[in-house]
Amino acid sequence: MPRPKPVVVVLATPQGPPPPELESVAKVATLRHARSAQELARALGGAEVLLIWDFRSAKLRDAWSHARDLRWIHAASAGVDTILFPELAASRVILTNSRGVFDQAIAEYVLGLVLAFAKGFPATFDFQRHHVWRYRETELVHGQTVLVVGAGGLGRAIGRLARCAGMGVMAVARTAHASDPDLGRVAAVRDLKAVLGKADYVVIAAPLTPETRGLFGAAAFHRMKPTARLINVGRGAIVDEAALLAALRSKRIAGAALDVFTEEPLPPEHPFWDQPGLIVSPHMCGDFVGWRPVLSALFAENFRRWRRGESLLNVVDKALGYVPSGGP
């Protein structure tokens, strides 16, 4: 007698298309789609697998009492801070993420921001809009130093591209290393303030954890060079946004570029929109053309492994809140 098909629930975004190219999963599983908390609660009954496509949603916590048969959750994102609540962390449910899918795209975006700052692109675009011919000299990127906060796959991709541009690279991580092929010297996060003053660009590429929440506040900005720029492609809550605004207004630092925020979407009345020296983008730095099928393919591969009892890719250490370096 053939074994029954496993039930896979897909938590999709309230608007927008469902995940593409899941035909291989649908052939061997029963797919249930949900968009609201009520739909999710109903769909979870008897389900063993949950694909969280709406990775910014906290709906699972509200429906957790209905997830009695759940064995594995896959997040269509690298960060799991909105998904990982205490009850899930304490459970035996396996959590995997989409680490690696967005690394190259985000690294390219970061390098683009570095070039935008060094070459004064925002001012050039503004002068063009106003028909102003304004000659300026610009900065060299070659020889500048970037400090990457976070030594995972994303941080390494950023470090490699920065090296290609002739930049010196340092990093900060949980554990210090004297030398790293992608990141140079890696300092422990407790020594962050000691190395901030050496960087021309500080790039936050770390996950949001209890250790990183609020890591960049007034004290950190005080340690940075007045000519330095901050780039955040990690999570908004890693930065004290009020302290950043004060640092920009007082010219304590030269500029910042933010792709992530404590509140998303960023409210129209937020002062960040009009702050000189600040580049705002709507949490898009990793979303390259074609990213959705790549995310689906990763889930399909992990689903194949799950059915065969094989090791899953990107298993999150729920105590840490991310996939440890060296994990499958």
Known active-site residue 283: yes
Q: Is residue 42 annotated as part of the catalytic site, yes or no? A: no
Contacts of 2 (CB under 8 A, 6+ apart): none
CA nearest neighbour of 132 among 123, 140, 141: 123
Tell me the Ramachandran region of residue 21: left when phi exceeds 0, alpha when psi lies from -120 to 50, beta otherwise. Answer: left
What phi, psi does 296 have (nearest 5°)?
-65, -40
- For residue 135, count other CB atoms closer than 10 A to its CB: 4
Question: Count of H helices and E strands in the chain?
Answer: 11, 13
- 264, 301, 304, 307: the catalytic one is 264
Q: 264 catalytic, yes or no?
A: yes
What is the three-class DSSP state of 187? Answer: strand
DSSP string for 233-291: -S-GGGB-HHHHHHHHHTTSSSEEEES--SSSSPPTT-GGGG-TTEEE--S-TT--TTH
- Indicate which residue of 33, 177, 283, 305 is catalytic: 283
Candidates 32, 99, 156, 235; catalytic one: 235
Could you give the CA distance from residue 59 to residue 82 in angstroms, rounded to a whole number?
10
Catalytic residues: 235, 264, 283
